[in-house]
């Protein structure tokens, strides 16, 4: 990753604590600050950076293993058109959670967390007419509904990237995907974990020094039960009608996790 991209994210994290979702702009800077809790590297931690790894859990494509692995400074998620999840109408290559040397981090009700990272979306990873998620927030456990999804979706034939809060029924924001293909995009995501109307989120995408989108939603539901756990990778439906499903991949780097304390 370039030094300039790290500088952009560093500058964002160095701003006033009042920029955090759920805080008033008049909140004194000393009242709260971001505390770094997670800073893995692909070269040093590999897949040990995550709580779990869901690499072809149905064993549908042994010849393609591994689908998820560290390569240089990046984590790579590879998806082949022949890959199938345990539900055979979809595909899934994902990792979950934030593992540290003492275990894994738990995001619980009332806490505010921030994740920053960079992602490389190749032109072969296209938006689809059905779901293609590249980041989710969920309650751990089988069959639980997603709380937050960052998705690649075709809207009236246009490829977009969007952030949705499914249990709240809220579209946080949406922007064109094609300018972000074949380049690194910085992601800054913040969430206050709250039930009913006690939650909030902020979603920022930057391309170089340009802010592509910056959206905040407050008074929303961001909690089901137990805890919230992030997931990254490619999770997509095979029901696409646009002919966009191809062999593809996703790269992530410079993953960082912060808690507002």
Its CATH class, for the domain covering 3-15+36-260, is mainly beta
Q: Measuring CA to CA, which residue among 140, 188, 150 is closest to residue 21?
A: 188
Q: How many degrees, rounded to 5, is the angle at CA 185 between CA 97 and CA 56?
A: 40
Q: What is the pTM of this model?
A: 0.90
Q: Measuring CA to CA, which residue among 231, 234, 252, 184 is closest to residue 80?
A: 234
Query: Alpha-carbon distance 178 to 9, whole Å?
Result: 22
Expressed in percent and rounded to 5, the helix, strand and coil fractions of the chain are: 10, 50, 40
Residue 1 has pLDDT above 70, yes or no: no
Domain segments of the chain as ranges: 3-15+36-260
- pLDDT tens for each residue of 127-165: 999 999 999 999 998 888 999 999 999 999 999 999 999
- Tokens for 200? 């909030």
Query: Alpha-carbon distance 258 to 38, whole Å?
Result: 7
Alpha-carbon torsion (185, 9, 98, 73), positive or negative = positive
- pLDDT tens for each residue of 34-84: 999 999 999 999 999 999 999 999 999 999 999 999 999 999 999 999 999
| Cβ atoms of residues 146 and 138 within 8 Å | yes
| Cβ atoms of residues 193 and 199 within 8 Å | yes
Q: Measuring CA to CA, which residue among 239, 192, 245, 238 is closest to residue 219?
A: 192
């Amino acid at each position: 990753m370039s030094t300039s991209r790290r500088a952009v994210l560093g500058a964002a994290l160095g701003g006033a604590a009042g920029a955090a979702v759920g805080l008033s702009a008049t909140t004194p800077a000393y009242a709260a600050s971001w505390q770094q809790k997670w800073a893995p590297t692909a070269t040093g931690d590999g897949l040990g950076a995550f709580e779990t790894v869901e690499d072809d859990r149905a064993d549908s494509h042994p010849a393609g293993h591994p689908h998820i692995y560290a390569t240089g400074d990046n984590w790579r998620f590879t998806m082949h058109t022949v890959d199938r999840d345990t539900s055979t109408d979809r595909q899934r290559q994902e990792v979950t959670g934030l593992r540290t040397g003492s275990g894994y981090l738990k995001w619980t009700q009332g806490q505010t967390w921030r994740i920053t990272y960079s992602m490389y979306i190749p032109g072969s990873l296209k938006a689809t007419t059905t779901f293609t998620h590249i980041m989710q927030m969920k309650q751990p456990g089988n069959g639980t509904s997603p709380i937050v999804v960052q998705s690649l979706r075709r809207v009236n034939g246009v490829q977009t990237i969007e952030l949705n809060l499914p249990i709240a029924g809220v579209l946080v924001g949406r922007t064109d995907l094609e300018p972000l293909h074949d380049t690194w995009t910085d992601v800054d995501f913040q969430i206050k974990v709250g039930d009913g109307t006690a939650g909030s989120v902020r979603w920022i995408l930057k391309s170089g020094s340009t802010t592509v989108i910056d959206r905040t939603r407050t008074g929303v539901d961001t909690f089901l039960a137990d805890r919230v756990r992030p997931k990254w990778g490619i999770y997509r439906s095979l029901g696409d009608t646009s002919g966009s499903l191809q062999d593809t991949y996703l790269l992530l780097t410079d993953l960082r996790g912060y808690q507002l304390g």
